[in-house]
Amino acid sequence: MKRIYTIVMMLMLPVALLGQGWPSGYSGVMLQGFYWDSFNDSKWTNLEAQADELAEFFRLVWIPQSGYCGGYSSMGYDDLYWFSNYNSAFGTRPQLVSMITTFKGKGIGTIADVVINHRKNVSNWVDFPAETYKGVTYQLKSTDICRDDDGGAALNWATQNGYSLSANNDTGEDWGGMRDLDHSSANVQTNVKAYVKMLLDDLGYAGFRYDMTKGYAAQYTGMYNAYAAPTYSVGEYWDGNLSAVKAWIDGTKVNGVVQSAAFDFPFRYTIRDAVNNNKWTNLSGSNKGLNLDASYRRYSVTFVENHDTQYRSASDPQDPIKQYVEAANAYMLSMPGTPCVFLRHWMDYKESIKQMIYARQLAGITNTSTTSQQAYNSSSNYYAQVTTGTRGSLLAAMGSTSYTIPSSYVLVASGTNYRLALSKSTETAWASVPSGEREDPFHVILTAVSATAGAQIVYTLDGSEPTASNGIVVASGSSVLINKCLTLKAGLLKNGTVSGVITRNYTVKNEDYDSYEITVFLKDPTVAPNNWPQVAYYCWDSNNVQQCGNWPGEVITDTRMVHGEKFYYKTFTITGSQYSVNFVFSQGGSTAGSHQTVDVTGVRETSFYEVKTQTNKYQVSDITAQYLPYLDVTAAPGDVNGDGVVNIDDVTALIDYLLGSSVVIDIQGADVDVDGSINIDDVTGLIDMLLAG
């Protein structure tokens, strides 16, 4: 009886109290599951097929308006049917329901695009479809059209053709092309309330994205949400003025309770300007987004691109992010608010965006997390922001790498103009490669993000839980070869206890790939004309995994003589047909620019390089063809001076070396009798070789 009483009391609460606009402390990320004309990529069947992958990263997916719009080439913004016809450009009603149901089973809520500012007509300017839903016929009338629709053009047509429009003007901005609805009309309100309730109850949507909310007063969004009580609601109030967006949110209140979140256009324009102008200090300041205001960040849905701002064509460019897309997403995903990732970005930068979302999840960042400026420098062009979550803090360092990440953080993801670092207090394992499918075998670097010095990693490859007695124990920074389909689980091992376990699911399509080793040689730049103090390799592979440590990379000390020249070298393993290694050769200092070369990318074979004259960054020449033919020759005992032939000059070089001369010899070639040491026996052996040959 007590349980029944509690339920009854809840049902007696005012409906408005159930609506809160958007949950507080919400940690999910949303995907905009479409872009302009994404008729194939956004088909309900295509999206449903990705449910397992999407569920690891997204809690919400926003899809196009799903009703029939009078044709099969519509993005849904010329909405026609609300109740009766759901065979759209993206699929059939059964396919839609199947996708929503599958998503729900995976923990993903589907967000409906609710287009109620305007509506398309059946055959003339004022006729709307009559639709029966649960025995009730719903139909808008000509008198539900705003009197000043289309700047008076609708009224002129109606008068000439014997129709009447509403006596009320629009409560928001006018929009030409379709009929603007008068939301002060009782009939419009009845139709909309039934429509949005049907989206939740019959189709299974979790919430709404209201289109073009500037077109009608905010109070009506509040009214419809108070009636339907969606868990999630976000309005497209397209305005870069922070005060205007806040006023719209406040305008949705019913009984003093906010009924909808809003897309954070002020945030979007801030990151757009920083990215497009490559000026990262533009991010500084407190008036740059809803998500920076403690009173409104709960209602901030952040984004960096959508279907209206994206580049479409040269003749229809819109207002896109023009460069550094990954950096823009990295900043968004490290901040409070609820981030909304654009489908086109997800498709094009999936690997890096996955790592960004993992970092957000591990720090425990929510829409109400606190955030603060860490550092910025206009002359060095960098900006750093720290957001503190429920498990740790996430540092976003944007722009120039001249900013030094504090020692209390561990770098976990990076790319052009962005670095993300988790605070050591997060206490978690980290994997350098996200879950997903790859063509060939690959390596994963496991890192301990921990305040405990020397914390180890314990991992399993069979999906079982790693413990102190179950799994392989390695040091932080160790590499694991993934050469088949498996589930990796890795955790921190400290004092016999495992914590901070992460799970990564890997699919390797070409499990039988025959890996091979390559060696990358750099001609000695420590001599004139460059006179470098030392040599370092900064390396990353085609999976964007660092192979030689953090910048400026690994100091290389291994050398070898090839055809009379000294080379520094390092060996790498090529694990797949699409796998390659990339390099920056540097002097090992922390200063960028004058101490490094340009990027050398896509290396899959043993190669030789030479540092050339400096112009901003040192240039690099590929001299493989000049030296590769001599690589095997110089490995043969006897070619002491590495000139490709064995003759009396090698005897002279070996004797000079043994007498203490500074002559440079090929170590392998000098050990003529291959006994592991270089002494007078090698001179005798070399002379015997020449006399016999």
Q: Is residue 280 over pLDDT 80?
A: yes
Residue 636: is its pLDDT beyond 80? no
Query: Which range (35-49, 127-141, 526-540) has the least confidence?
Result: 526-540
What pLDDT is attached to residue 664? 61
- For residues 395-421, average pLDDT: 97
Helix (H) or strand (E) holding 422: strand 418-423
Q: How far apart are CA 425 and CA 368, in angstroms?
A: 20
Confidence band, pLDDT 50/70/90 cuts, at residue 100: very high
Measured CA distances, 386 to 153, 367, 370, 409 (Å)? 53, 14, 9, 11
Q: How confident is the model at residue 12 (pLDDT cuts 50, 70, 90)?
A: very low
Residue pair 392/363 in contact (Cβ under 8 Å)? The answer is yes
* Cβ pair 362, 332 in contact under 8 A: no
Cis peptide before 14 (omega within 30 of 0): no
Cis peptide leading into residue 552 (ω within 30°): yes
What domains are there in the chain, each with its CATH number? 18-121+183-386 (3.20.20.80), 428-508 (2.60.40.10), 516-630 (2.60.40.10), 635-692 (1.10.1330.10)
Concatenated DSSP letters of 514-572: --EEEEEEEE--SSTTT--S--EEEEEETTS-BSS-STT-EEP--EEEETTEEEEEEEE
Of 299-308, 540-549, 598-607, 628-637, give the lowest mean pLDDT range: 628-637
State which amino acid sits at residue 679: N
For the stretch 176-207, pLDDT in tens is 889 999 999 999 999 999 999 999 999 999 99
Beta strands 456-460 and 472-475, pairing class: antiparallel
Mean local confidence (pLDDT), 86-103: 97
Structure tokens at 657: 């070396």
Global confidence as pTM: 0.78
Average pLDDT on 618-636 reads 81
| Ramachandran bin of 338, using left for φ above 0, alpha for ψ from -120 to 50, beta for the remaining angles | beta
Residue 15 has what pLDDT? 39
The reported pLDDT for the residue numbered 16 is: 38
pLDDT, position 682: 83
Averaged pLDDT for residues 238-256:
98
DSSP alpha helix (H) spans, 239-363? 242-251, 265-276, 325-333, 343-348, 350-363
- More confidently predicted of 614 and 566: 566
State the pairing for strand pair 60-62/30-32: parallel
- Packing angle of the helix pair 265-276, 325-333 (nearest 10 deg): 140
pLDDT value at 635 more than 60: no
DSSP label at residue 596? B
Least confident of 227-236, 293-302, 536-545, 586-595: 586-595
Looking at the chain, the number of H-run helices and the number of E-run strands are: 18, 34
What CA–CA distance (Å, rounded) separates 76 from 366? 31
Query: Most confidently modeled of 19-28, 300-309, 439-448, 669-678?
Result: 300-309
Give the range among 260-269, 397-406, 559-568 with minimum mean pLDDT.
559-568
**Contact predicate 579/604, CB 8 Å:** yes
pLDDT higher than threshold 50 for residue 77:
yes
CA-nearest of 330, 386, 339 to 366 is 339
Q: Rounded distance, CA 434 to CA 545, Å? A: 10
Residue 6, pLDDT above cutoff 50? no
d(CA 96, CA 606): 52
More confident residue, 552 or 302: 302
Categorize the per-residue pLDDT at 656 as very low, low, confident or very high, splitting at 50, 70 and 90. Answer: confident
Q: Which of 641, 650, 657, 677 is nearest to 561 (CA)?
A: 641
What pLDDT was estimated at residue 634? 53
pLDDT, residue 647, reads 85
Of the listed ranges 50-54, 90-94, 207-211, 643-647, the least confidently predicted one is 643-647
- 331-388 pLDDT per residue, tens: 999 999 999 999 999 999 999 999 999 999 999 999 999 999 999 999 999 999 999 9
Find the angle CA(234)-CA(239)-CA(244) to the nearest 5 degrees: 85
Can you tell me the mean pLDDT for 392-417? 97
* Average pLDDT, integer, range 139-143: 98
Band of the pLDDT at 594, cuts 50, 70, 90?
low
Residue 668: its pLDDT value, please? 67
Nearest residue to 274 via CA among 150, 412, 442, 398: 398
In this structure, of 330-334, 523-527, 564-568, 589-593, the range with the lowest mean pLDDT score is 589-593
Percent of the chain with pLDDT over 70: 94
Of 328, 366, 338, nearest to 232 by C-alpha is: 338
pLDDT at 5 over 80: no
Give the separation between CA 511 and CA 20, rounded to whole angstroms.
Answer: 50
pLDDT over 90 at 19, yes or no? no
Q: What percent of the chain has pLDDT over 90?
A: 76
Residue with tokens 């839609």: 96
Phi, psi of 506 (to 5 degrees): -115, 135
Q: What is the pLDDT of residue 178?
A: 95
Structure tokens at 377: 């420098």
Would the pLDDT of 413 be above 50? Answer: yes
Q: Is the pLDDT of residue 222 over 70?
A: yes
